[in-house]
Amino acid sequence: MSLLLGEPRRSGSLAAVVDPPVRSVGTRLTARGAATRERIVLAAAELMAAKGVAATTLDDVRVASGTSKSQLYHHFAAKEELVHEVITHQAGVVLERQNQLLRGVNSFAGLRRWRDAVLQRNVLRSGAYGCDIGTLAAELSDTDEAAREALAGHFATWEQLLADAFRRMRDNGTLRPDTDPATLSVAVMAAVQGGYLLAQTAHNAEPMRVALDMALAHVKTFEASTTGL
């Protein structure tokens, strides 16, 4: 499948190549430049995840990344471009983590381990900050069409990881043959994102626990009957 966008993206150079709009045409990054670019994106990602995109100023990013104004604009044509890069970065991190957690899942026990891992992270921060992709989606969907499309794609990739797990569970007889992995994955994603939002607003991970439990119970209703039938 072509959904393996969840690569670690440590290189940075790849991101520069992927990025067509402005700059990076006839501009090769040196190792030093790439490192700076990376630092900027990392700092921006962290700030934007914590305070939101609009509330994060380029001066915040400059200070947090220990760079100067000229470096910001040397690597990104405008704040919007940096935001897009942050989206790519966060998606890479989140999807890679989800990929690790989900790729081997082919049973209810595996699914429960995934649930536990997601929940645990949320508990650690008492629900605060929400989903790194979800908060970006909520803030940008109505104002930045390119961002919206990218984020929709990342959601789709994430859903695909879930759907693959469900497909494996269907194919190995854990789930009924008539189970639709795609639909099921959308339902579970909705529960996850809703859990994130409620937990973030309540500053309490409990809603996430409830949401994930519903999601798993829902999957369970597609369990193949073990009794003969």
Indicate whether 195 belongs to the interface with a second copy (CB under 8 A): yes
* Neighbour-count burial for 182-211, b at 16+ CB within 10 Å, e otherwise: eebbbbbbebbbbbbbbbbeeebbebbbeb
Stretch that binds DNA, among 29-37, 189-197, 199-207, 218-226 (CB under 7 A): 29-37
Q: Whole-angstrom Cα distance, residue 143 to residue 212?
A: 30
Which residues from 181-210 bind DNA, rule CB under 7 A?
none
Indicate whether 27 belongs to the interface with DNA (CB under 7 A): yes
The contact pattern for a second copy, residues 128-167, with x = CB under 8 A and - = no contact, is: xxx---xx-xxx-xxx----x--xx--x------------
Q: What are phi and psi of 174, to 5 degrees?
A: -75, -40
Read off the DSSP letter of residue 13: H
Q: Smallest gap, in angstroms, from Cβ of residue 80 to a second copy?
A: 13
Q: How far is CA 56 from CA 88, 149, 222, in A?
A: 17, 22, 44
Is the CB of 29 or the CB of 198 nearer to a second copy?
198
Q: Smallest gap, in angstroms, from Cβ of residue 62 to DNA?
A: 8
Q: Whole-angstrom Cα distance, residue 132 to residue 29?
A: 28
Q: Whole-angstrom Cα distance, residue 138 to residue 151?
A: 10
Q: Whole-angstrom Cα distance, residue 159 to residue 187?
A: 9
Indicate whether 81 belongs to the interface with a second copy (CB under 8 A): no
Q: Which amino acid is at 150?
A: A
Cβ–Cβ under 8 Å, residues 196 and 38:
no
Find how far residue 52's CA is from the centre of its chain.
15
- Residue 156: which of 100, 98, 206 has the closest Cα? 98
What does 52 bind: a second copy, DNA, none (CB cut-off 5 to 8 Å by kind)?
Answer: a second copy
Residue from 51, 69, 112, 125 touching a second copy (CB under 8 A): that is 51
Indicate whether 198 belongs to the interface with a second copy (CB under 8 A): yes
What does 33 bind: DNA, a second copy, none (CB cut-off 5 to 8 Å by kind)?
Answer: DNA
The contact pattern for DNA, residues 30-59, with x = CB under 7 A and - = no contact, is: xxxxxxx-------------------xxxx
Helix (H) / strand (E) element for 52: namely: none
| Residues in contact with DNA by the rule CB under 7 A | 26-36, 56-59, 67-71, 73-74, 78-80
| Residues in contact with a second copy by the rule CB under 8 A | 50-52, 54-55, 128-130, 134-135, 137-139, 141-143, 148, 151-152, 155, 183, 186-187, 189-195, 197-198, 200-203, 206-208, 210-211, 213-215, 217-218, 221
